[in-house]
A and B are shown apart, each in its own frame.
Chain A
Amino acid sequence: MSIIAAALPVRRWRNPSALPGFGLTLGFTLFYLSAIVLVPLAALIIRPWEIGWSGFWDILSDVRVQHALRLSFGASLIAAAINTVFGAMVAWVLVRYRFPGRGLLDALVDLPFALPTAVAGIALSALYAPNGWLGRPLAEFGIRIGYTPYGVLIALIFIGLPFVVRTLQPVLAEFGRDAEEAAATLGATRLQTMRRVVLPALVPSILTGTALSFARAVGEYGSVIFIAGNLPGISEIAPLLIIIKLNENDYAGASAIGVIMLAASFAMLLALNLLQSWSASRQ
């Protein structure tokens, strides 16, 4: 038996490598990944089955839950759209123009990544609350941002901006001026060149930035809750509702909303992978 086995060409399940450590790193990686990420996520995905489909739908058809989900997804979409426009502009300015303070501006773009969300949250609240730095002058014009859905929007713009800039910046830096020069020699105006040559080439990376910004905004909690005012049915976001339900010991309700948010995360991850392969196939 062993002679036959030795004589047969062995089909290895991985390509041979001269380097050591495969078993060790594979074991540690899989153990750590399972213990920290996969098993706890499975606990969330399985949980709603205890109450069945009908129980699951009952929770999600609740008016308060529906409103919170609509606000989280709607405000994130609007924030991502705003960040796409301004993020693309900032990336263009940072890559193409030279001006004093450019390095500082470049470093500041990462501020939302570095500043803890709770700090951003109370700062935005101090700015936009009705008696805040900007809130008071705005109130004189009858504009209210703090403690309204617009407050949610402001916070989501804050945390989402770097994603668009940082996705677009390297692509723009690499994108040579050859095509633009060719368009110019063929008589295209600057505006035509931008619309027909530059923009189409950047679309995949712009959309990737938009998707990343949206994905981050949907689940955002810390920077939103201080400025939102959290009025049920008006400015209450879905992640906050999960916490409220947990505090009421309503595990089923919390996990039902959690599963929806997780499904949205998976969908965004899939969309991002598709975007990635699309932009790779275009290069």
Chain B
Amino acid sequence: MSPRFVSPTADHWTTRFGLTALSLAFIGLFLVLPLIVVFGEALNDGLKPVWAAIEEPDALAAIRLTIVAAAISVPLNAAFGVAGAWLVTKFDFPGKGLLVTFIDLPFSVSPVVSGLIYVLVFGLQGWLGPYLSAHDIHIIFALPGIVLATIFVTFPFVARELIPLMNEQGRDEEEAAVSLGASGLSIFWRVTLPNIKWGLLYGVLLCNARAMGEFGAVSVVSGHIRGLTDTMPLHIEVLYNDYQYQAAFAVAMLLALLALVTLALKTFLEWRYADEIAATHHH
């Protein structure tokens, strides 16, 4: 028998097989099985009851509210992400590190605390409560509160993707454009935006998934008024606590599909545009 070369840094095949099997089992049990349960419970009696649960007026209202809240908060956070990333990556000024830490802050705050802070500002016993109720302005238990809470929890997504990306791309191209007499706006549209478009889309994708799925923060500020201030995740909670399991899982299935589409698009962007997305950049 001729001696076969065995790489000194390769694990023994038993180790390799064991660790791979254990990883697959762990991911399967903890991540995949819950996903299968959602589809299994929703489709237990076929598609008909799924449609019935989705076409029900309160469910339609919840879907509409979820889309409206995301349609307001995602563009605002995208605009903020672009402006913040431009500020942080194109200029040097004292306090930059602190600013970046503050931008990241909402990620480490509990969703429930994220909702609580707006109740403390706008709620009846909040800072502005007496003024708002005197002028009949509704923020808490209404759309503005839901939008604010959604903006808070999705605040860093776009900025956090764009800052490392634009840092790496540097300022040379923009500075060349300035020296050639381009205006600020045309530099952004014709030089910067083409460079960051896939990173921006990546950030917006993650921001939107979280915005449509947020539960804790929105739960605090919504007031759970059926058909009025219930978003899709809140509607799921109402149905579930009402023992309407099949309907709850039908609405949950819609959100699970959104999650799967998000994951597929995210994986595609990471694969196709790896060089133009900060998340897949490792140097």
Residues of A within 8 A of B104 (CB): 269
Q: Which of A52-60, A122-130, A143-151 touches B?
A: A122-130
A33 at the B interface (CB under 8 A): yes
Query: Can you report 11 A-B residue pairs in the complex whose CB atoms are below 8 A from each other?
Result: A25-B86, A26-B87, A29-B99, A37-B106, A116-B213, A222-B219, A240-B112, A242-B116, A258-B113, A258-B117, A262-B110
CB under 8 Å from chain B, chain A span 26-71: 26, 28-29, 32-33, 36-41, 43-44, 47
B198 at the A interface (CB under 8 A): no
Residues of B within 8 A of A14 (CB): 91-94
In the docked arrangement, what's the CA distance between A220 and B108, Å? 10
A105 close to B23 (CB less than 8 A): yes
Q: Mark B1-32, 1 if CB is under 8 A from A, else 0.
A: 00000001101100010011011101100111
B219 close to A243 (CB less than 8 A): yes
B216 close to A239 (CB less than 8 A): yes
Q: Which of A25, A134, A190, A251 contacts B120 (CB 8 A)?
A: A251
In the docked arrangement, what's the CA distance between A193 and B103, Å? 40
Q: Which of A86, A99, A170 contacts B20 (CB 8 A)?
A: A99
Q: Which of A118, A154, A251 contacts B233 (CB 8 A)?
A: A118
Q: Mark B260-277, 1 if CB is under 8 A from A, else 0.
A: 101110110000000000
Interface of A is mostly: helix
In the docked arrangement, what's the CA distance between A242 and B19, Å? 41
A11 at the B interface (CB under 8 A): no
B213 close to A117 (CB less than 8 A): yes
A73 at the B interface (CB under 8 A): no
In the docked arrangement, what's the CA distance between A215 and B9, Å? 34
B8 close to A110 (CB less than 8 A): no
CB under 8 Å from chain A, chain B span 239-255: 240, 245, 248-249, 252, 255
In the docked arrangement, what's the CA distance between A110 and B187, Å? 35
A109 close to B34 (CB less than 8 A): no
In the docked arrangement, what's the CA distance between A243 and B19, Å? 42
Q: Return the 6 tightest CB-CB contacts between A and B, nearest first.
A: A219-B110, A116-B213, A184-B8, A20-B184, A222-B215, A14-B93
Residues of A within 8 A of B199 (CB): none
Q: In whole Å, how far is A193's beta carbon from the nearest beta carbon of chain B? A: 8
B105 close to A19 (CB less than 8 A): no
A21 close to B86 (CB less than 8 A): yes
Looking across the interface, which residue of chain A has its beta carbon closest to that of B16? A97
Interface of B is mostly: helix
CB under 8 Å from chain A, chain B span 52-108: 76, 79-80, 83-84, 86-87, 90-94, 99, 101-106, 108
In the docked arrangement, what's the CA distance between A111 and B263, Å? 7
B126 at the A interface (CB under 8 A): yes
Residues of A within 8 A of B106 (CB): 37
Residues of B within 8 A of A22 (CB): 87, 90-91
Residues of B within 8 A of A226 (CB): 237, 240
In the docked arrangement, what's the CA distance between A17 and B87, Å? 11
Residues of B within 8 A of A280 (CB): none
Number of residues of chain B lying within 8 A (CB) of chain A: 98
B11 close to A15 (CB less than 8 A): no
B131 at the A interface (CB under 8 A): no
Interface residues of chain B, those whose CB is within 8 Å of chain A, are 8-9, 11-12, 16, 19-20, 22-24, 26-27, 30-35, 37-38, 41, 76, 79-80, 83-84, 86-87, 90-94, 99, 101-106, 108-113, 116-121, 123, 125-127, 148, 151-152, 155, 171, 174-175, 178-179, 183-184, 187-188, 206, 209, 212-216, 219-220, 232-234, 236-237, 240, 245, 248-249, 252, 255-256, 259-260, 262-264, 266-267, 282
Looking across the interface, which residue of chain A has its beta carbon closest to that of B266? A110
Residues of A within 8 A of B87 (CB): 21-22, 25-26, 29
A44 close to B282 (CB less than 8 A): no
B20 close to A17 (CB less than 8 A): no
Number of residues of chain A lying within 8 A (CB) of chain B: 98
Given the contacts A43-B117, A116-B215, A117-B213, A89 and B236 also touching, CB distance less than 8 Å: no
In the docked arrangement, what's the CA distance between A70 and B87, Å? 41
B32 close to A108 (CB less than 8 A): yes
Residues of B within 8 A of A239 (CB): 110-113, 216
